[in-house]
Amino acid sequence: MCGITGFVSWSGLHRDGHAVVARMTEQLQHRGPDGSGCWTSTHAAFGHTRLSIIDLAHGAQPMTLGDRPGHRLVLTYNGELYNFRALRSTLQSHGRVFHTDSDTEVVLQAFAEWGPQCVDRFTGMFAFAIWDEHAHRLTLARDPLGVKPLFYLDDGAQVLFGSEEKTILVHPTVEPVLDETGVAELFCMAPMVNRDRAVLRGFRQVEPGHIMTFGPHGSVSRCYWRLEARPHRADAAATATRVRELLQESVSGQLVSDVRVGAMLSGGVDSSALSAMAMAEYTGGPLATYDIDFAPGDTNYSSSALHIDRDAPWAAKVAAHIGSHHSTCIVDTDDLLAAEGHTLRIWGRPMHRPANVSLYLLFRHIRDTGTTVVVGGEGADEAFAGYAWWRSTAADGFAWQDVFRESVGLLRPEFASSPRFRDYARDSHATARARVPRLSTDSPDDRRAREISWMTYTFYLDYLLHRVDRMSMAAGVEARVPFCDHELVQYAWNVPWELKNHGGIEKGILRMAIADLLPNEVTYRRKSGYPMAQTASYQRAQYDAARAVLADRHAPVWQIVDPSAVTDIVGRSGVANNSDWTDLNRIAYVLETDSWLRDLRVRVL
């Protein structure tokens, strides 16, 4: 796992092109602590930082391939191809000669052999850029579910790209500007954004399952993978069997590594099933498993409907059952507060930091114990109807609107009263809804389930995957997500609602599929969300910080946010019992927005 960056100038690089891409690459050092490299030519500059996972001694990037002058391909790649060995064998049968054992070279040789259609053959998580020096063509691609991020900025004269926005901002021609669309993305659907967009003006994302080609005269985007609606005729038993097979195949493929592999283990059904499967197949010694807990005496685990009880006792039960080597990361308020600034800089834009800081500390703990790769359960709730909002009766808008409430009310009156901002989330929902793959034979329940699933994949899972990517890479850990295997996701997409909800319980068919792996009480444990930063003293610190910002009438956040709205929240919730997590998240979000505007010197239009 790595960091990628670079730019292409159609008129040619300036003399300082190499120095510029070197500075851009330095911004991604946290994503690749094991090595870095830069490559430049007349029109292109590529950078790369490496976290060594496969073929530790080789596979350095940017990697080039060319048999004669001017006919050169250059690759900078972030990801893992789980089927790279099979692809390598196929390419060798086509006469391709390999010089490393890395999956990086497989990507490059596959592109040389099949062109942009190579992505149709890839199984894994990836984001990459390839420069074709002969054709003067830049290709950007992203994996089917968008596990790995890829941002770009195309101003007509040049295209800049990178794993994170901050690397693009280093380029001397780029200024951080927040316009009305950016404000809407920040506050109308927080913590989600539209998957093709970013917050700063001009920034975009390569969409999941897309490959883009840029040339001097414009760009072309091709969707190479998306969900398809197909009839599902299997009964519950056959469906559970197929789910088990697909999940097992995904876990097996994602254990491939030349470094130590572990598993995130919360004691919920998703991570517990993955840990049990990984434990049975992992050949690198006892599987290391991890969870997080807060120091005794200052916790509040029932702060919301999403966070029901403590994970640690459940994780310990599962670890004892499967025989893993388990470790709990214990954090306190001082740890959480100390990590806030770092997690904001790593993410690069405002986010709900109560969830981020503890996750970063967990990944740092994992790395400190000597584990570099972990598997986690993201994507299970999306595939198998695990969230409470799947059962929402909301007739319009996002199903999670009672959990993640709109923050439009925080904005200054000139923003909040504008139809553009009032309707932004509704319009985003309508645009996404029009793309839902359906069957004419779907029942009303199935139509509703497909819609909620599509929205959850399109918005909420994107947020979760970005969160896991940023926080894991900040600690030098590669996080893999077996539930996001595109074949498993495609199969689950067409499982009818009555089967997903088998037995009248969320993720019923998944529980049926893995029941023999776990104790019964774990298999049927009620869903409890990731334990955020929920210590009472941490909550008090957020409100204290909000009072300090309120006292600064020149704070940059007041260009966007109405101080009276924040005053109202502090007045009613300053005791910080957090019976409603919305207020805590809103306060933390305002604080992050203020810090972000200051740190990046963002110009607000």
Shortest CA distance to 119 belongs to which of 36, 48, 40, 207? 207
Q: At what angle do helices 444-455 and 424-433 cross, to 10 degrees?
A: 120
Residue type for position 163? S
Average pLDDT over residues 216-245: 97
DSSP 460: I
Q: What's the predicted TM-score (pTM) here?
A: 0.94
Instruction: Report the pLDDT value the prediction gives residue 69, as an integer from 0 to 100.
Output: 62
Containing 77, the helix (H) or strand (E) segment is strand 71-81
The Cα–Cα gap between 334 and 358 comes to 11
| pLDDT at position 303 over 50 | no
DSSP 396: S
Cα dihedral 424/581/362/351 (nearest 10) = 30
Q: Give the chain's mean pLDDT.
A: 91
pLDDT class for 364, splitting at 50, 70, 90?
Answer: very high
C-beta of residue 388 within 8 angstroms of C-beta of residue 305? yes
pLDDT class for 194, splitting at 50, 70, 90?
Answer: very high
- Match 């900078």 to its residue by tokens: 76
pLDDT digits (tens, 9 = 90+) for 9-48: 999 998 899 999 999 999 999 898 888 899 999 999 999 9
pLDDT digits (tens, 9 = 90+) for 227-237: 999 999 999 99
Residue type for position 369? T
pLDDT digits (tens, 9 = 90+) for 548-602: 999 999 999 999 999 999 999 988 765 545 455 678 888 999 999 999 999 999 9
- Match 């957090």 to its residue by tokens: 578
pLDDT digits (tens, 9 = 90+) for 459-511: 999 999 999 999 999 999 999 999 999 999 999 999 999 999 999 999 999 99
The Cα–Cα gap between 24 and 31 comes to 13
Q: How far is CA 280 from CA 7, 187, 255, in A?
A: 44, 45, 11
Strand 44-50 relative to strand 63-68: parallel, antiparallel, unpaired?
A: unpaired
pLDDT class for 286, splitting at 50, 70, 90?
Answer: confident
What angle is formed at CA 579 by the lines to CA 576 and CA 585, rounded to 5 degrees?
Answer: 65
DSSP 410: G
Instruction: Report the pLDDT value the prediction gives residue 163, as an integer from 0 to 100.
Output: 97
The Cα–Cα gap between 252 and 277 comes to 8
Average pLDDT over residues 515-541: 84
| pLDDT at position 240 over 80 | yes
C-beta of residue 473 within 8 angstroms of C-beta of residue 30? yes
Cα atoms found within 13 Å of the Cα of residue 107, Cβ hemisphere only: 31
Burial of 215 (C-beta count, 10 Å sphere; 0-12/13-18/19+): middle
pLDDT class for 535, splitting at 50, 70, 90?
Answer: confident
Instruction: Report the pLDDT value the prediction gives residue 574, as an integer from 0 to 100.
Output: 53
The Cα–Cα gap between 251 and 104 comes to 21
Percent of the chain with pLDDT over 90: 73
Q: If you count them, how many residues does the chain have?
A: 605
C-beta of residue 529 within 8 angstroms of C-beta of residue 268? no
Find how far residue 454's CA is from the centre of its chain.
Answer: 16
The β-bridge partners of 204 are: 152, 197
C-beta of residue 7 within 8 angstroms of C-beta of residue 45? yes
Q: How far is CA 568 from CA 384, 546, 565, 571, in A?
A: 39, 11, 5, 5
Average pLDDT over residues 433-437: 94
Instruction: Report the pLDDT value the prediction gives residue 146, as an integer from 0 to 100.
Output: 96
pLDDT class for 390, splitting at 50, 70, 90?
Answer: confident
Annotated binding site for ATP: 292
Q: Is 194 helix (H, G, I), strand (E, B) or coil?
A: coil
| pLDDT at position 435 over 90 | yes
Instruction: Report the pLDDT value the prediction gives residue 166, as an integer from 0 to 100.
Output: 95
| pLDDT at position 54 over 80 | no
| pLDDT at position 57 over 80 | no
Point out the catalytic residue in the list 2, 38, 329, 484. Answer: 2
Average pLDDT over residues 381-385: 94
Instruction: Report the pLDDT value the prediction gives residue 53, as an integer from 0 to 100.
Output: 63
Average pLDDT over residues 224-251: 97
Average pLDDT over residues 360-383: 95
Instruction: Report the pLDDT value the prediction gives residue 526, as an integer from 0 to 100.
Output: 85
CB atoms inside a 10 Å sphere around CB 148 = 27
Instruction: Report the pLDDT value the prediction gives residue 571, as an integer from 0 to 100.
Output: 85
Annotated binding site for L-glutamine: 103
Residue type for position 306? L
pLDDT digits (tens, 9 = 90+) for 139-152: 999 999 999 999 99
Q: Is 211 helix (H, G, I), strand (E, B) or coil?
A: strand
The Cα–Cα gap between 550 and 164 comes to 31
Cα dihedral 437/442/447/453 (nearest 10) = -60
| pLDDT at position 64 over 90 | yes
pLDDT digits (tens, 9 = 90+) for 167-178: 999 999 999 999
Annotated binding site: 103, 292
Instruction: Report the pLDDT value the prediction gives residue 56, as an integer from 0 to 100.
Output: 61
- Annotation marks residue 2 as catalytic: yes
- Match 């034979």 to its residue by tokens: 441
Give the helix, strand, coil percentages of the chain, each rounded to 5: 45, 20, 35
Find how far residue 185's CA is from the centre of its chain.
Answer: 17
pLDDT class for 70, splitting at 50, 70, 90?
Answer: low
Greater confidence (533 vs 535) lies with 535
What angle is formed at CA 292 by the lines to CA 291 and CA 295, rounded to 5 degrees?
Answer: 145
Residues 6+ apart with CB under 8 A from 237: none
The tokens describing 505, both together, are 């319980």
The tokens describing 138, both together, are 């830049």
Q: What is the set of domains in the chain, with CATH numbers?
A: 2-223 (3.60.20.10), 236-386+475-524 (3.40.50.620), 536-604 (no CATH)
pLDDT class for 527, splitting at 50, 70, 90?
Answer: confident
